[in-house]
Chains A and B, each alone.
Chain A
Amino acid sequence: MARAVVLGFFFFCSFLFSLADGGKAKPLFFEMGEEYRKVAQEQEVFLFRGKDSLPEHQMLLLSDSVGNPLLFYADIYTPVCIDNICKPVQIEIYWDLLGEYVGFALQKNQPLTKFDHEEFEPDDYEKFHALMLDDHSVLDRSKMEDLFDKNAKVEPDKEQVVYNGVEVDAVSEPTKKVIRESTVEGALYSCYTLWHLVNGESSRKIKNYFSEIYNDRFSTYLLDSPYESYQRFALKKLTPEAYLDFRPQILHILESASPLTRSYVLKKLPDEDWADEKLSEFLYENFSNWDMNTQTLLLKHLEFADERAALWLSTQLSSMKKRQLEMYLTFLPKRPAELDERIRQALEEKVQSDYNYTYLIKAYLGS
């Protein structure tokens, strides 16, 4: 009953607050450059809730002057409750087009506060933003009541977790250390409530919504964007046969994206496209600059690549680990007599070097 009264009062305040909406504040933290400055129009798209299923919040889609979608946005006014005592929090949240949190803003005179009503310090805001960005936070798999590991205790003056007198880095389940490191001290409950608001239903609904409105005209925009998640989304929507229609973008993505995205592109690229001269040259001439997993994928696709690829690789053997060198040597003609003269020369030179696996090259040349 007490809870119902408290919440009833809260919703009344929330209603009054919504009438007094004073426009968007400048974001305090924002991950996407100046994207919010291009916003020219907004559209109400759906309602969403947080983990506690308390009030519903309105999600807006923000677009530029010609209607290109830019961001999702919600002006949130929510209670944070412990043991039936609630205090309001007001915050404006921005998400990207794929439902990833990108920043927040606060109205003037509405700072975030800790549970003892002390205002957030600048460092606290930074920590809060980092926590919201972490969509893999331990808060995701924690219930409020089991945020603390009873077996682990933090020594007051140290950052170590100690178990039975022995220091440990962490235990498998959420630990006090991890929680303490990732949340704002004194504001655990606000952090918990807002993290689930930001990374829960809101994020899922944005993903679904954007997928529904997505069409081919977005491909170039997303592939050209500097954001890896956008690039990957667009790649997923494209058929692999169309990849080379976007050759400049694909080459740029291979160069700038993480190994995960690189391997996504390379695994999906149709076999016949590997022979593309520009692509082959780009991939195999730069072999030694790629991460190990990408290098291995290149070696696995040697048979489909431009025929000069084996030659380009012959001068980059130093960056090959044992299994990779074995893959390369297996690709070469079984009889070394049939080797391209330039490759043979490169191999023979390598045998004279201090490369760790010269014995494998010797064995091949002697076969």
Chain B
Amino acid sequence: MKKLLLLLFLWVWAISPSLSQTDFLIEAESFLDKGGWVSDPQFVEQMGSPYLMAHGMGKPVRNASTEVVLKEKGTYHIWARTKNWVPGNWEAPGRFQLVVDGEKMDQVLGLGPDWNWEYLGEKKLSSKSFKIELIDLTGFNGRVDAIYFNQEKKVPPTDVEKLNAWRPDKLGETAAPGETKEFDLVITGGGIAGCAAAIAAAEQGMEVALIHDRGLLGGNASSEIRVHTLGIYGKFERILRMIDTEHYPNGSEDAKKDQLKRDKNVKSYKNIHLFLNYRAYDAVAKESVIQYIDARHTSSGERIRFTSPLFVDATGDGWIGYWSGADYSYGREGVEEYGEAWDKWGELWSPEEPDNAVMGSSILWITDLTTEAHNFPELAWAKDVANEHEATAGEWYWEFSRNDLHQIEDGEEIRDHMLRAIFGSFSNAKQKPENANYKLKWVSYLLGKRESRRLMGDHIFTFRDVLDQVKFPDSVVVETREVDIHFQQNLQDENKPDFLSTALFYKTDAYYIPYRSLYSRNVSNLFMAGRCFSCSHVGLGGPRVMRTTGQMGAAVGFAASLCKKYKVNPRDIYTDHLEEYMKLIMEQQWRER
């Protein structure tokens, strides 16, 4: 009941008309009934907001709907912020319509070439309470960010910066979140690294906030992305077994079993305070000390400010470090910078000149081979990506990276390119009679990223540390997995599809990552764990897999507990408390829960 009241409150708050009587804004992600539409918060920093998407794999999804309470009856002009995600000489793939107060509006939406307000027309609203519905027409990823009603026919801002300033005003938001919560440790990012950090710190008695922008924990290992965990357990087998996966094929439905295990285990710690579906949007530092992190609920829009003496950036994209001014790098270093050559592979491994190339992001997908035939349409809008490529299953090498695209700033385009590759290649295969019984079973809509920002620590872990087998006094992570670097197949042969990659594997004995790679060199109370730890491009090649990033998380969680004990910052653990810290780490392999 309480939950219902809270939801009702949030809904009223979310859809409340602005202070102006003549207009109001409804965030699509705040719809009470999302039907078959999914909430996508991946690209908030670029396009301004989470949005609803009709990810039906070719079958129109169930309508989403919500109730609206008006302050003033009257005639309103209506806009929806949406985009045609594949503009071109074909019918837009993500078309949808709106039903307002029982009337289906004529205007089909999802037609403009970039995020923008599409005008639906005028509507007389004679009742103060009415319903809005979204009708998906295609099943192919139509998307809507917000719906705007205005009596004056004044077009809302298009420019994202102006829109970001306009939106809070329309939603009646204050500058700072109304609520502030304080913890011993605030971890942002509930992937394997963030979960491991939370468990380790919680076991040491800390009150931990774990902020995660999805409802399911695990990041790339979650049942929403489904990459299996690779690497070894190091000293943290007990912790990592609570959250890792079996070695099933990437994309396997078995991910759901491991999801249950992970969620149950993390939730069993009373002092891990989970903030699921909260996406951090700011981290503010004063004199290189993070003061707080602000996060927003991805559906209700509710905001919370998190304060703590210590923060962990386990976001993968290094957002907390980025916002708080931490040093970071992106792209490939020149081969001489850290001496990372592997002559056999030359430029593909480490280039003579630095550049902005990074390993790409993947979208996993699986099919069912059934006993009956299923139709799948020919897709003109996917043709110039898939070309003639045919496929009935995906794997890790369905990966995309290109030198005009940034894995963070252009994430939506990268994800959409992969969707076109998948739907197009499957469609090509389906035109063959022998594939008649194949049916798309699951296609992720969340990017499985490999590489983006890397925050810089006191030590930058590189391929040299692997080659030289360096044993550090503060080696807290150990790995034996090959160092593998991915690149797009079309670099060697331009006739290959641009969405397929291949990998180079450097076999090695054990290598070690020092604690000094797990805290920022210039933001004094910031740890990092996961793929945004301190490393070079090639350095990331080995330890970017999730048992290894889990080791990083656990190591950071234990370090944080000592920071609390001595009221010091992460660096002080290395300079003043290393013996005690390493003893704590070594003890973990013998400890039982």
Contacts and interface: CB of A to CB of B under 8 A. Distances in A.
B113 interface: yes
Would you list the 3 A-B pairs with minimal beta carbon distance, nearest first? A168-B249, A323-B404, A296-B404
Interface in A304-357: 321-324, 327, 354, 356-357
Interface in A247-305: 258-260, 263-264, 267-268, 291-293, 295-297
B491 A207 contact: no
A291 B494 contact: yes
A268 B369 CA distance: 50
A170 interface: yes
B490 A259 contact: yes
Q: Is the interface of B mostly helix, strand, loop or mixed?
A: loop
B492 interface: yes
B248 interface: yes
B410 A170 contact: no
B494 A164 contact: no
B410 A323 contact: yes
Nearest to B353: A267
Interface string B12-53: 000000000000000000000000000000000000000000
B355 interface: yes
Q: How large is the interface on A (under 10, 10 to 19, 20 to 34, 35 or more residues)?
A: 35 or more
Given A168-B249, A172-B230, A260 B492 contact: yes
Given A136-B504, A258-B493, 15 more contacts: A151-B247, A163-B252, A166-B249, A167-B367, A168-B395, A169-B393, A171-B249, A172-B228, A236-B352, A260-B347, A263-B491, A293-B403, A296-B404, A323-B405, A323-B410
A141 interface: yes
13 contacts: A135-B344, A151-B247, A164-B252, A167-B369, A169-B391, A169-B393, A172-B228, A236-B352, A259-B490, A264-B351, A291-B490, A296-B402, A297-B403
Interface string B384-422: 000000011111100000111100001001000000000
Contact of A141 (B344, B346, B366, B505): B505
Interface in B340-355: 343-344, 346-348, 351-353, 355
Nearest to B348: A260
Given A172-B396, A293-B403, A297-B403, A259 B498 contact: no
Nearest to B401: A293
A168 B173 CA distance: 48
A322 B507 CA distance: 39
B87 interface: yes
Given A323-B410, A356-B113, A267 B498 contact: no
Interface of B: 87-89, 113-114, 228, 230, 247-254, 343-344, 346-348, 351-353, 355, 366-367, 369, 391-396, 402-405, 410, 413, 482, 490-494, 498, 502, 504-505, 507
B35 to A, nearest CB: 28
A332 to B, nearest CB: 17
A359 B112 CA distance: 10
A126 interface: no
Contacts, number: 99
Given A136-B504, A169-B394, A169-B395, A359 B113 contact: yes
A241 interface: no
A207 B343 contact: yes
Interface of A: 135-136, 140-141, 151, 163-164, 166-172, 207, 232, 236, 258-260, 263-264, 267-268, 291-293, 295-297, 321-324, 327, 354, 356-357, 359
Nearest to A297: B403
Given A166-B252, A172-B250, A264-B347, A296 B403 contact: yes
B369 A260 contact: no
A170 B395 contact: yes
A168 B393 contact: yes
A262 B491 CA distance: 10
B355 A267 contact: yes
Contact of B404 (A135, A236, A292): A292
B404 A321 contact: yes
Contacts of B249: 163, 166, 168, 171
B226 to A, nearest CB: 12
A4 to B, nearest CB: 29
A87 B494 CA distance: 42
Given A166-B366, A258-B493, A359-B114, A322 B395 contact: no
Contacts of A357: 113
B380 to A, nearest CB: 14
A183 B403 CA distance: 35
Contacts of B366: 166, 168
A267 B493 CA distance: 19
A141 B506 CA distance: 8
A268 B355 CA distance: 11
Nearest to B409: A323
Contacts of B405: 323
B367 A258 contact: no
B494 A258 contact: yes
Nearest to B369: A167
B436 to A, nearest CB: 15
A172 B501 CA distance: 13
A232 B491 CA distance: 14
A258 B505 CA distance: 22
B250 A164 contact: no
Nearest to A290: B494
